[in-house]
Each structure stands twice: as structure tokens, then as C-alpha cells.
Structure 1
Amino acid sequence: MRVTRLTWSILLSASALMTPLSAGAVEFTCWSPDGVASANAAADYWTAERIAAAIPDGETIRTLPTDGFSKGREDILPSDAERAPIDDAPYKFGGQLLYTRGGHDYTASAQFVADVNIVIGAAHSLWKGDMAASNIRFYQGYSNGGGTLYRMDKAAVLLRWTEVADNNPSLARSQFDYSVMRTTVASAVGKYELGIDGAHVDDNVTITGYPARLDGGEYMYREIARIVVQAGTAYDARPHPMYGGGASGGAWFVTANNVHKAVSVVSSGALDGVYGPSFTQDTADLIAIVKNGCP
């Protein structure tokens, strides 16, 4: 594991994306989630029994703000989540994330974004209490035990996240709450495009994930929420019927001209709302770095 500050010249050589990279630097922590374990040993770790016993990961917002945001028409949005059509785009780009952190096994949500070898989830899933996750697996298209298994050989979070990871959930903290992982095999089903600053106040977004309180987290669900606050590079959207753990890291997306753009992931939530980061150029830069093996 190491912390690196990348300069513009290094980013130029690392770039493997269509998104232009801006001058500057991004600080990050990157590691190999399986260490020196063999592929077979790592694959054997996730037995059916271990998966069934894994803890649905999630973070709860203690008190949602009640002022300072748009009093729009979010009350007309559906108050219930529904199962997502997992075989259709863009839902098939997502799946269930499995990992070990601090000696405990967890489940959360994630998806292919920006590149067919890049998966994005929540940072709080992969790094907390100065502990990095290991045994990371992504079951694309997971549905009631079925799905396609992808292994990870690199994982990274922003260095700024490691400095606030143990703070209480907040909009300020959520700005940095995303992780980037590299798969050893390319996605067979496609990917979301990356939406940089891709949504704004009063926009509706579709939010996806595997909430444990709905069917035990065995199926992907979706909900429609309206962004009521954009503070810095974080969103507050409402309502959030997928609260309660397991949906962490699930994509927020918008669709235009049949192009599906991931604009955020689930950071922390409550019954009435959910926080998530607004993707920035730092996100694109970190994706390029991880795709290139964290040089």
C-alpha cells in the first residue's frame, strides 16, 4: 500500500480515458486487495456460506437538514423502491461487491464506470479505521445468488478520504466517498459513462443498489430521487426508500440520448434522503491512475 502524489506529466502517461485530463495533481492511496494470495486461494475465500453471512455495509445520516435547500416537487416522487431490470442497460453494469475489512466480511454495491476494467463503489466500503479492504470481488448482474464474478487487482481511494473516513457522515465528508477498482478481466456487458458534475439541484436521478432490508439484498433495486442540495462536490437527494445498508456504492445515474452517465454513488443515507459525491476531474484522474496500475 502506498500514498502517491501524481503530477501532470505522470497523469499524461497514465491516461487511458477519452476524458481530457486537467493540469494539477491528485493524491490517493492504492493497494493490491489480494496481496500475494493466489487466484485460486482468493476465489475459494468466498464460499456460499461466507457470502450469506456477510454484513450489509452502510452509513446512516443522523440528522437530515431541513432548511437551506430547494422546496421543489420532490414530494411527488415515488416513495417506494422497485426491483431493477438487471438484464437491461444500465442496470446490468452494476452488481454486488464483496470484501473483507477489519476481520469482517461485508456486502455493498458497485458498477462498471468509464472503462471496461474499472469498477466504482463507495470509499467507506474499502477504507475505514485506517484499514484497507481485501478479498474484493464484484458479482456483476448479481440476482438471488447468480452473477458473473470479477476479481480485482487494484483498489484506490482519495487520500482526502483517509483523513475524514472516521468522521460522522456529512455532506462535506461525502465529497470524497468513492473508490476505484481495476478488474483482471474486462466487462462483458458494458459500462456507465462517467458524468463529471453531471447533475444539479432539482434534477431527478435514478439510484441503484442492493438494500438488505428489501429481499435480503438478493436483488438490485432502484429509486428515483431529486437533488435538493449541491454543496461543494456533494449531493443531497430525497427521498431514499433504499436506506438501511447494502446499497452503499450503488450508482446515481442520468440518461440522455440513450447514454447512461453515472454522476454519483450512495454514500450515506436515511429514510428521507441520501448523500453522494459529485464526480469531478479528480475522479477521472484517479480512474486513469488505477487503470494504469497505480504507477
Structure 2
Amino acid sequence: MSTTHTARAHHERWLEISEYWTTERMAAAIPEDVPTMTEETPAPPSALPGAFKTTLVQNPATSSYYRRAGALFYVREGVDLQGSASAITHNGILTAAHCLYGSKVRKYPTKAAYVPGYRDLQEPLGQWPLFGEPVVPDAWKAQVNRAWDYGFSKVGLGGKNGFSVLGNVTGHFELLVDRPELREWDVLGYPAVAVPGYLFDGHRMWSCQGGFTRQPTLNTIGKEGNLTPGSSGGPWLIPGHPYANGVQSYDDGNLPGENFSPYFDSDVLKLYQKAFQS
């Protein structure tokens, strides 16, 4: 296909998705369910969690750091859903596998749009439609195990005019794997279920900084935090640096004050290469 035809296909896709995701649909989108799985009793935390710092990001689109993250809107089985994601390459995003291939309804989403810097039903940078089939671990499809709750997707041309490359507008985070010594993270996301003291509504970005709590299973990791459904897929970052070392996956309903991510190892890097370098 020629470059002209490719650009036209991308623009037509952008028109279709942007026409679907009106402010009314964004307002009504519900947070993606956090996956529930049967596992062995997890290891208790080494210390009681709670020393996290959760703050509202006022204007993410104006920051070269925060605008690399955003909200993810998509449809599954006719239901409008919302999660979180981040730019991880110039034309692709990182998010949770359960946003890209449901943990209950085992299907890829349709009409999916990534909206970086999203705030209060506004798209200050525009939106980018997911393009092509998302890539999630085969083990996630087979077992729906939290250790593999990560995935990637290419995005088409988008933005405000439908012809912009994502990375040219927002920049992107870098992937960081195989770093077991890391013990502090800053999680960005759009939590939609309010908790005491935090008016989470799914339409504002929050930053949640906290330290390591435990490794409940072989390839999962916990940190202090209180983000709720809707933040699924948001990046775990090295505080103050543009490196993604995890992704928001789930929380522990029996012990508030913790959030969990798959541990990012070489398998994550291999999936990244499959998604963007093949």
C-alpha cells in the first residue's frame, strides 16, 4: 500500500473513532473490571502499606512528562469502558492486558482510542485510535494470570487533525526491565472509584508515589498506593524519570493501601519487540 493510501486509511480510522467517542460517551464509560483469579494465599506485606503520596495532576497535557500518559477508551461486548495507558514508543502504547484482551469476556476491544493528557472530558492533544491487533502474552490468554497482565498496541495517526504521529506530539516513556533492586515507583492513571479523601472520577489524572510492599507471587510486585479501577494500565515509573517499569494491574480488596503490577522481566521486552519491531 502506498504512503498516501496508508495515511488515508489511518485518517478514516481516526474519523470513525473520534466520531464515536463523544464527550457524552466518555462521561458514561465505566472503569474496566479488575481481574479476579484464584491463586495461592499471597505472601503478607513486609510492612503495613500506607506511606504513599497521591496527588492530582492539574494539567497533564502541558507537561512534557505527564502528557506521555493518558486515558484509554474502548468497547467490549457493546459496553463503553475506560482504563489508562501510556506512550511507550513513537507509535504505540503500554497498558494492562485485561484492557486489551478481557479477563472475563475474552475478546479484543473495538473502537479503542488513546487520549493523552485527558482531563475533564477534554482532549487537549486529540486522540489516537488503536491500529491493528493488540499484543498480549499467550500465557494471559491461556490462564488470565496477573503475572502476565501487560500488553502493547500500535496506534494509528491521530491527534487533533488525524494526521499526527503520537510520539511527535507527546514523546514517550522508555521500557525498563530486569531491575529487581527498584523499590520506589510513581504510578499515573485515571482511577474512577472514589475512596475517602480522594474524589476519583475517571476524568482526571492522578499520581501515586510509594515504595515496595511485597512480591505476592513469582512475577508480581506490590507498592504502596490507593488507585482504583479506571487506573488499570497506567504506567509504573521511576520517580522523576521517563522509564516505565510496571503497569497498574490490580489492588488487594482485603488490604487497602496497595497496588500491584506484573514484574517487568525479559518476557516483557520480548513482547515489546514482537509488538513494535516485527
TM-score normalised by the shorter chain: which range applies?
0.7 to 0.9
TM-score computed with the length of structure 2 as normaliser: 0.78
Q: What is residue 162 of structure 2 aligned with on the other side?
A: none
TM-score (norm 1): 0.74
In angstroms, what is the RMSD of aligned CA positions? 2.6
Residue of structure 2 in register with 1:233 after alignment: 219
Higher strand share: 1
Matched residue, 1:26: none
- The counterpart of 1:209, out of the listed 189, 204, 212, is 189
1:43 and 2:18 are equivalent in the alignment: yes
Q: Which position in structure 2 is the counterpart of 1:10? A: none
Which of the numbers 169, 172, 176 marks the counterpart of 1:191? 172
Deviation per CA, 1:203-225, whole angstroms, max 9, x where unpaired? 12111110112342111001122
Selected match of 2:55 from 79, 82, 104: 82
- Among 150, 157, 160, the residue aligned to 2:128: 150
Q: Which residue number corresponds to residue 231 of structure 2?
A: 247
- What residue ranges of structure 1 are gaps of 5+ in the alignment? 1-33, 166-172
Secondary structure of 2:129's aligned partner: strand
Q: Deviations over 1:124-159 (max 9, x none)?
A: 112123211111100001111223211121311111
Specify the code of the residue in structure 1 equivalent to 2:135.
A
Residue 66 (structure 1) shift:
7.8
Percent identity (aligned): 23
Is residue 249 of structure 2 the alignment partner of residue 267 of structure 1?
yes
1:217 partner SS: coil
Aligned to 2:150: 178
Instruction: Give the drift of 1:41.
Output: 2.6
Residue 120 to residue 277, structure 1, CA distance change in 2 (3 Å):
same
Q: Name the count of aligned residue pairs.
A: 242
Distance 1:38 1:221 in 2: 30
In structure 2, C-alpha distance between the alignment counterparts of 1:84 and 1:197, rounded to whole Å? 29
In structure 1, the residue matched to 2:84 is 109
Does 2:142 match 1:163?
A: yes
1:144-198 CA distance string (max 9 Å, x none) = 1223211121311111101123xxxxxxx22100110111233212111111033
Measured in 1, the distance between the counterparts of 2:146 and 2:181 equals 16
Q: SS of the residue aligned with 1:146? A: coil
Q: Which residue of 2 aligns with 1:289?
A: 274
Task: Tell me if structure 2 keeps the 8 A contact 1:58–1:268.
Answer: no
Distance 2:230 2:56 in 1: 14
Aligned to 2:3: none
Unmatched 5+ stretches in structure 2 = 1-8, 157-164
Which residue of structure 1 aligns with residue 112 of structure 2? 136
Instruction: Look up the match of 1:4.
Output: none
Change in 2 beyond 3 A, CA 1:59/1:233: same
CA distance in 2, matches of 1:157, 1:125: 10
User: How much does 1:269 deviate?
Assistant: 1.0
Deviations 1:42-89 (A, max 9, x none): 3322122211111111417799968544238x54x24x5211251324
